[in-house]
Amino acid sequence: MSPNASFSVKSRNNLTWPARLFVCVAVTFWAGTPSGSANSADKPTDWRLEKDANGVQIYVHDADAHSYRQVKAVARVATTIGGMVALIKDDKASPRWMDRVVEFETIKAVSAQEWYTYAEIGIPWPFKNADIVTRNVLTQHEDGRVTITLRNEPAFVAKKKDKSRVLRAGGSWQLTPYPGGVLVEYVFHAKPEGLSLPAWLVNAITVQSLHRSAERLRKLAESNTYRNVRLSYIRQ
């Protein structure tokens, strides 16, 4: 397995139009802010627990009644921190846990600690599919924690005419090792250009979508493929 291997997958499901609309908006780049920059350093401190099931907690932050929620997933995962990093960087595995991913690939690997990814998210007619280009930067702290910051870079590759480019996005992974596993915290927020959907519609499905994806991620991370992975650039 190569954590940086390039991979793309094409898939569609047979959900009805309303169901597909709900699902595709809320997943992969969960939640957002309808105005301002999602790259802001501002971090909400008033997270509210929205769902706690099967070892995965979902927290939400409501800016106001008309805004898209910011959402955070938290889970304890029985894997190594190297295994968790390897899974996050494994393009081939991404469609197995990210809902509605049509294409996903690493388009440039600057180093083991910095890489750029491209993702296309399936959006049902009459909307165009959305795509996003992200710069990922990995830092391991003195206490062993790993942070991966995600920042969109919409100009890094040419915009495709038949896609709605995500212009405002950002987030982070926080991986904290503990005896027997890793505490995983994931926050991401985005606002696709030209996809104007009411906040109440997106918010209604976001929590469930993120919870399902986090469960899939944990299951993969705890599999034999990843749980014993060691990476030369990650201190265990």
Query: pLDDT tens digits for 57-100?
Result: 999 887 555 566 778 999 999 999 999 999 999 999 988 998 77
2: in domain:
no
CA pair distance 145, 194, nearest whole angstrom:
37
232: in domain:
no
Task: Report how many domains make up the chain.
Answer: 1
| pLDDT confidence band for 189 (50 / 70 / 90) | confident
173: in domain:
yes
Burial class (CB in 10 A: 0-12, 13-18, 19+), 162: exposed
59: in domain:
yes
CA pair distance 160, 178, nearest whole angstrom:
43
Instruction: Lowest mean pLDDT of 36-45, 54-63, 101-110, 195-204, name the range.
Output: 36-45
209: in domain:
yes
pLDDT for 25? 36
CA angle 12–50–47, rounded 5-degree value: 110
CA pair distance 161, 138, nearest whole angstrom:
31
Q: Has residue 33 got a pLDDT over 50?
A: no
End-to-end, the C-alpha distance of the chain in Å comes to: 19
201: in domain:
yes
CATH number at 125 reads 3.30.530.20
Most confident of 7-16, 92-101, 151-160, 172-181: 172-181
CA pair distance 228, 155, nearest whole angstrom:
37
Average pLDDT of the residues of the chain:
78
Q: Has residue 118 got a pLDDT over 90?
A: yes
User: What is the domain range of residue 87?
Assistant: 17-221
Copy the structure tokens of residue 25: 């908006």
72: in domain:
yes
231: in domain:
no
Q: Has residue 35 got a pLDDT over 50?
A: no
Q: Has residue 202 got a pLDDT over 80?
A: no
